[in-house]
């Protein structure tokens, strides 16, 4: 992936994206908790995709923004379709592209009418921004080939510092429709619980193959650990993360900030 240099005439969305690229892919350690969380999420996401499909498989990256997952997957040999509402980001992604095959499909992903379905649809940090996550997942499943996969990452609603509502406790999610699709943590509407994802999957004929609770409070920079992370050796932080990922499930649900889920669309017989 190429490193780009900011220019005065860049589009506003490019200027907005570049500081995130510094943290996610260019090695800045100004907000170490954010960087650790992103790298951890990327590692597990790529592992799950590589576990189930080989290079040249067709992958749709929904709401892909500045395309860092898109670019990483393309460099691994996958045929990736980038999607986002902000069409002007296409040229920004292209500036960073070093190799690989990327198709671009800007716009509302549900209005695009793709000719063929995908081996994998990636929804990374998207579902928490929509007012009807159950309906969203159902529509995403329609874009997946029979026996294909959805890989989803989202913040963990059971994390002990979460203060947002649980979707299944909300009597009228339509009240949030006017504020959905907003970027970053300010746009989070619900933080889902793992049992909710399991219920959504069961209702629409999907099967959860793997669910990983990731990024504990310390590695994410919470409980004031952000002051320590700049000084702790990366190996120590990664070892702590590996340790907490092996704790009993009830404890993992409370101390991890996010999860990554591998879901399969099971073909009907």
Is the pLDDT confidence value at 268 over 70?
A: no
Q: How confident is the model at residue 183 (pLDDT cuts 50, 70, 90)?
A: confident
**CA-to-CA dists, residue 91 to 11, 95, 104, 228, 239, angstroms:** 10, 6, 10, 38, 38
122 with 151: CB under 8 angstroms? yes
Model confidence pLDDT, tens digit, residues 129-141: 999 999 999 999 9
Model confidence pLDDT, tens digit, residues 154-177: 999 999 999 988 999 998 999 888
Is the pLDDT confidence value at 185 over 80?
A: no
Q: Which residues contact 225 (CB under 8 A, 6 or more apart)?
A: 33, 217, 218, 219
**3-state SS class at 120:** strand
Would you state the structure tokens that stand for residue 123, as one six-digit string?
Answer: 């929804």
Q: Are strands 144-155 and 101-104 parallel, antiparallel or unpaired?
A: unpaired
Interatomic CA distance for residues 58 and 220, integer angstroms: 32
CATH class in words for 18-54+102-117+125-265: alpha beta
Q: Which residues contact 60 (CB under 8 A, 6 or more apart)?
A: 80, 81, 83, 105, 109, 114, 118, 120, 121, 122, 143
pTM, to two decimals: 0.94
Would you state the structure tokens that stand for residue 247, as one six-digit string?
Answer: 């704790």
């Amino acid at each position: 992936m190429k490193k780009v240099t900011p220019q005065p005439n860049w589009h506003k969305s490019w200027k907005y994206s570049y500081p995130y690229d510094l943290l996610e892919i260019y090695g800045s350690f100004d907000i170490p908790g954010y960087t650790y969380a992103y790298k951890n999420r990327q590692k597990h996401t790529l592992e799950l995709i590589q576990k189930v499909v080989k290079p040249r498989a067709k992958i749709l990256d929904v709401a892909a923004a500045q395309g860092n997952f898109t670019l990483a997957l393309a460099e691994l040999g996958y045929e990736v379709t980038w999607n986002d509402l902000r069409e002007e980001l296409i040229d920004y992604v292209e500036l960073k592209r070093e190799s690989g095959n990327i198709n671009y499909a800007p716009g509302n992903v549900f209005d695009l009418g793709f000719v063929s379905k995908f081996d994998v649809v990636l929804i990374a940090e998207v579902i928490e921004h929509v007012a009807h996550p159950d309906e969203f997942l159902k529509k995403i499943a329609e874009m997946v080939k029979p026996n294909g996969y959805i890989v989803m990452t989202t913040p963990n609603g059971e994390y002990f510092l979460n203060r947002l509502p649980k979707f299944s406790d909300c009597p009228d999610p339509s009240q949030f429709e006017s504020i959905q699709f907003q970027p970053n943590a300010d746009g989070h509407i619900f933080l889902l619980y793992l049992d909710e994802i399991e219920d959504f999957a069961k209702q629409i004929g999907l099967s959860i193959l793997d669910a990983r609770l990731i990024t504990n409070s310390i590695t994410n920079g919470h409980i004031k650990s952000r002051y320590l992370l700049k000084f702790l050796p990366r190996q120590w932080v990664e070892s702590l993360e590996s340790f907490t990922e092996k704790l009993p499930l009830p404890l993992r649900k409370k101390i991890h900030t996010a999860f990554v889920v591998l879901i399969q669309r099971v073909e009907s017989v």
